[in-house]
Structure 1
Amino acid sequence: MDGMEEAAERPEEQARATPRRQDAQSGLNPEVSNTAQDMGALLEQYEETQHTQLRRGELVEGTVVLVDRDEILVDIGGKMEAVIATSELQNERGEMALRRGDHVSAVVIVPENAEGRPVISINRARAEIGWRDLQAKKDSEEVVTGEVVDHNKGGLIVSVDGVRGFVPLSQIVELRRGGSDEEVEEKLRSMRGQTMYLKVIEMNRRRNRLILSERAAAQERRAQQKDRLLSELQASEIRHGRVSSLTDFGAFVDLGGADGLIHLSELSWGQVQHPSQVLRVGQEVDVRVVGVDRENKKIALSLKQVEENPWTRIEQKYHVGDTVPAKITKLAQFGAFAELEPGVEGLVHISELSDERITHPKQVVREGENVQLRIIKIEPQRHRLGLSLRQAEDAGGYDYGGGFEAYSGASYVLDSGPSGSTTTDGEESEEEHAPPPEEPADTVHALPHEQSEPAASEPAANGTARVPER
């Protein structure tokens, strides 16, 4: 009985339970719908108020949507477009700085102006980005480029990546030291608008301080150019360069990134006592590369090897038996060296200086004297010439037909020689060449003897061979 009663009651309970579940389900839908509506309203409200939530100094990005003479509008994602500061509407040439569709980065200056628009600045954004880029380049020691925009008495003001920096006078390459204030001012003024290669040597973002150096950048770039040049140079190449400095041992030539050395012995085929006899600073020259030391980064150059070696045509120009003009260049115990032309030098052995017995060439000739010599031997392969003073004196004539330019077609006239050697009246001015007191002033004897008059073969008072009278 009880079971039947319970069974009879279950349909009613089930009937009562079903409406309750339906009521619960029907009550859920309005809640979900209300939640979705609330989220949409919040999103719309956020979009409406986004432009008012911008902060001064905030970096934003956007696209230019309007460009006219009065304003430039940029879509930065809010309900209201941002407007660019009027000071940035035009560039230095008076042209509109931006075009529609340009993508820009800017810094918020005013979150909301009177019209409800944010005011932004591209220049400030460039500066902000520039500071970050400059810090990275300083850390990596990179070279940067900057435009000279102004100057003061202390140096140049430059714009680098949108940031204004300062280049002190001591860090400007082209500025000469010791110049007057007017010269410095004129030079600084003339550099306005130029682009400079610089390195950051000091920066402080908080203090808005940026110090740069052109000298450091030049050294950096020169080191890079030198490495490149050293890898390219090959021995025997002809290169064009500019003389950068002169020293006692040679001349340095800038090849466009690296300096090479022309040793004193490679300046000329002739005798050179100092590079200033051949070259001057700033002179442009062609040189031959004679050696490249990549490990020690040294370059050896030659100026004379660009020209023809005069010994290659010596046999065509000179012949044994010719009497030629020459200049005494050096005295040694065994004889005297004489130069016929630049690069062609021969030896007058001591036995060929005089018919008299002498103990040193200085008893007959002096350095710098111009004399007539006879060629007695030619060895082109060994670059040797045998010369004779006494044989030229014995020949008594000027039979040289080689066409030596300095003397061709003209009678030979003895030069006065170096200062202090021979005076205009033919008397010796050096004590070592002065005649003994008892002898006539115009006679110099190789060795003391009893002749009161010099023989035709004896040296004259000026040290050159006396030409016999005909």
Structure 2
Amino acid sequence: MSDANLNETQSSEAMAAALNSVHEVKIGDVVQGEVLAIEDRQVIVGIQGTGVEGVVPQKELSSQPIDQLSDIVKVGDEMALVVISTIGNDKENGSYLLSKRRLEARKIWAEIEAKFTNQETVTATVSSVVKGGLVVDVEGVRGFVPASMISDRFVRNLDGYKGQEMTLQIIEIEPSENRLILSRKALVEQERKAQLQAVFEKLLPGDIIEGEVARLTNFGAFIDLGGVDGLVHVSEISYDHIKQPADVLTVGETVKVKVLALDQEKGRISLSIKDTQPGPWDEIAEKAPVGSVLEGVVKRLTTFGAFVEVFPGVEGLVHISQISHQHIATPNDVLEEGQTVQVKVLNVDPDQQRLGLSIKALQEKPAGAKDSEPKDVAPSDYQMPEEESGFSIGDLIGKSLDK
């Protein structure tokens, strides 16, 4: 064979080898690209082994925001890319739309699927709050947490979760549809159960501790004791009468509470705020000594007298015989609930929390009026009875029988 024929044969073989080495590019293929140029919002790459170029838009480079393309790539860099689609109709010299972000997402989806199979949890950051739940980012993959799956209790305002990192369970996954449904509810329940167990192990009835007001309802306040809530019933908030807890408490406020009861089986903790405060009857003998004159409000009227509140939470009895120098059939004849009156303290019994009061003792006795009872009044005569916050049989009848 002549030299000319030999050279021609070698050239043909080299061309055939070159053509055979050029791989056809298909959508979905993973290719290796070399950065040829960096433009305003895209990167031009040469697809190795094909002789054609591809384009990587800025949004397809990374799942994270990019200020400048030159911050993350430079000419000559090589990177693995996935083919998304073709650009134009020139298959020989035409470009391809490529993505680095989606290739990374493929790997992450595979990792998430493996965790789902192994019943493992994932860590995600809440990227936005939408109607019905939270949108989260799991290493670049978008996931969704329905509102009902965020906690073991109803959450009215989800805005506070934005930007938070949380551990989640995988409920449903479908990579082909980019669907990833997650839940935090079961994990919260497990965590709360462990916290509740720890609290029950260290608390005893009578303990006084600090907590934070977590929620307010019409019937009471829930106090966070460190991941576990206890209830302060509205009647245990203050010695003063309050219509609703929100009148005196605010969410987030730190309060001191006393443990009233623990029910581990039902997971309930009963608390009291007022039991940590001075009682209304403390030092009552100093605040309302016998003979002192006080101003009070008529709270209740009965057939035998009027109950007058002289301090918040402290009521005394004005027996019907101590209301007026004139004979009256019932207290309603001269008094009404809510009326402000002046009263004189006749007797004080701190142990039994009873006050005997008089209205007529502060009034001038009409000429010719007879005393309705002896001038010397024994303390027992105005003791508060067992019923109606109140009084003994002698109190109800008074000294009227002595006449």
Q: Normalising by the residue count of structure 2, what TM-score does the alignment of the two structures yield?
A: 0.57
Letter matched to residue 294 of structure 2: V
Correspondence for 1:383:
353
CA distance in 1, matches of 2:129, 2:234: 44
> Which residue identity does 1:247 align to in structure 2?
N
- Relative to 1, partners in 2 of residues 1:160 and 1:148: Cα closer, same or farther, differing over 3 Å? same
Query: In the aligned structure 2, how far is the partner of 1:127 from the partner of 1:213?
Result: 17
**1:344 pairs with 2:314:** yes
Conserved? CA contact 2:305–2:331, under 8 Å: yes
State how 1:280-429 maps to structure 2 within 5 Å. Answer: 280=249, 282=251, 284-291=253-260, 292-394=262-364
- AA in 2 matched with 1:307: Q
Whether 1:128 and 2:106 are equivalent positions in the alignment is: no
- The CA distance in 2 between the partners of 1:136 and 1:225, in whole Å, is 26
Q: In the TM superposition, what is the alpha-carbon distance from 1:322 to its structure 2 partner?
A: 1.0
Instruction: Supply the RMSD in Å over aligned alpha carbons.
Output: 4.4
**Structure 1 CA distance for aligned equivalents of residues 263 and 348 of structure 2:** 37
Is 1:146 aligned to residue 124 of structure 2? Answer: yes
2:223 to 253, 261, 265: 253
The alpha carbon displacement at 1:216 in A equals 5.4
Change (3 A) 1:108 1:278: closer
1:237 alignment partner, one of 205, 208, 223: 208
Partner of 1:157: 135
Letter in 2 for 1:137: Q
Distance in 2 between residues matched to 1:342 and 1:238, nearest whole Å: 25
Within a 5 Å distance, the mapping from 1:12-91 to structure 2 comes to none
Following the alignment from structure 1 to structure 2, what is the Cα–Cα distance between the partners of residues 333 and 214?
60
Larger Rg: 1
Q: Deviations over 1:150-193 (max 9, x none)?
A: 6766654323366432224565579747xxxxxx9xx5xx9664
For 2:118 and 2:265, locate their aligned partners in 1 and report how far apart those are by CA, in whole Å: 32
User: Match of 1:419?
Assistant: none
Flag structure 2 segments of 5+ consecutive residues without an equivalent. Answer: 1-27, 29-55, 74-79, 84-99, 367-403
The gaps in structure 1 that reach 5 residues or longer are 1-56, 58-84, 98-106, 111-118, 178-183, 397-470
- Give the partner amino acid of 1:236: D
Tell me: CA distance 1:166–1:91, structure 2 relative to 1, closer, same or farther (3 Å).
Answer: closer
Question: Which is further off, 352-361 or 215-224?
Answer: 215-224
Please list the CA deviations of residues 384-436 of structure 1 after superposition, one character each: whole Å capped at 9, or x if unmatched: 1111111122499xxxxxxxxxxxxxxxxxxxxxxxxxxxxxxxxxxxxxxxx
Determine the structure 1 residue equivalent to 2:374.
Answer: none
Contact preservation (8 Å) 2:345, 2:357: yes
Give the CA deviation at 1:283. Answer: 5.7
2:248 is aligned with 1:279: yes
Question: How much has 1:218 moved relative to structure 2?
Answer: 4.3
C-alpha displacement of 1:137: 2.9
Task: Give a deviation string over 1:422-455, Cα, whole Å, max 9, x none.
Answer: xxxxxxxxxxxxxxxxxxxxxxxxxxxxxxxxxx
Pairing 1:157-176 to 2, within 5 Å after superposition: 157-160=135-138, 163-168=141-146, 171=149, 176=156
CA separation of 1:224 and 1:359: change in aligned 2, threshold 3 A: farther
Separation of aligned partners in 2, 1:302 and 1:355:
44
SS in structure 1 opposite 2:282?
Answer: helix
SS in 2 for 1:319: coil
Secondary structure of 2:325's aligned partner: coil
- Secondary structure in 2 matching 1:238: strand
Question: Could you tell me how far apart the structure 1 residues matched to 2:339 and 2:281 are?
Answer: 23
Report if the CA contact (8 A) 2:216-2:245 is conserved.
Answer: no
How many angstroms does 1:370 deviate by?
A: 0.7
CA offset at residue 377 of structure 1? 0.5
TM-score between both structures, scaled by the size of structure 1: 0.50
Between structures 1 and 2, the one with greater helix share = 1
Q: Secondary structure at the match of 2:111?
A: helix
SS in 2 for 1:247: coil
Q: Percent identity?
A: 35
AA at the equivalent of 1:146? A
For 1:295, give the aligned amino acid.
E
Cα deviation for residue 265 of structure 1 reads 3.1
Structure 1 243/323 Cα, relative in aligned 2: closer, same or farther at 3 Å? Answer: farther
Kept in 1, the 8 Å contact 2:196–2:228? The answer is yes
Opposite residue 159 of structure 1, the aligned amino acid is: D
Tell me the equivalent position of 1:53.
none
Residue 134 of structure 1 and its aligned partner are, at CA, apart by 2.9
- Measure, in 1, the Cα distance between the counterparts of 2:293 and 2:267: 49
Distance 1:245 1:151 in 2: 24
Q: How far has the Cα of 1:310 moved from its partner?
A: 3.2
How far 1:369 moved relative to its partner? 1.0
Aligned partner of 1:196 among 154, 158, 166? 166
Q: Secondary structure at the match of 1:137?
A: coil
Change (3 A) 1:289 1:394: same
Structure holding more strand per residue: 2
Q: Any residues of structure 2 matched to 1:447-462 within 5 Å, and which?
A: none
> Which residue number corresponds to residue 60 of structure 1?
none
- Contact kept? 2:136, 2:145, Cα under 8 Å: yes
Instruction: State the AA in 1 paired with 2:117.
Output: Q
Against the structure 1 CA distance between its residues 150 and 324, is the aligned structure 2 distance closer, same or farther, given a 3 Å change threshold? closer
> Which segment drifts farther, 328-337 or 255-264?
255-264
Cα distance in 2 between the residues matched to 1:221 and 1:194: 18
User: 1:265 and 1:90 mapped to 2: Cα distance?
Assistant: 55
Distance 1:340 1:294, change over 3 A: same
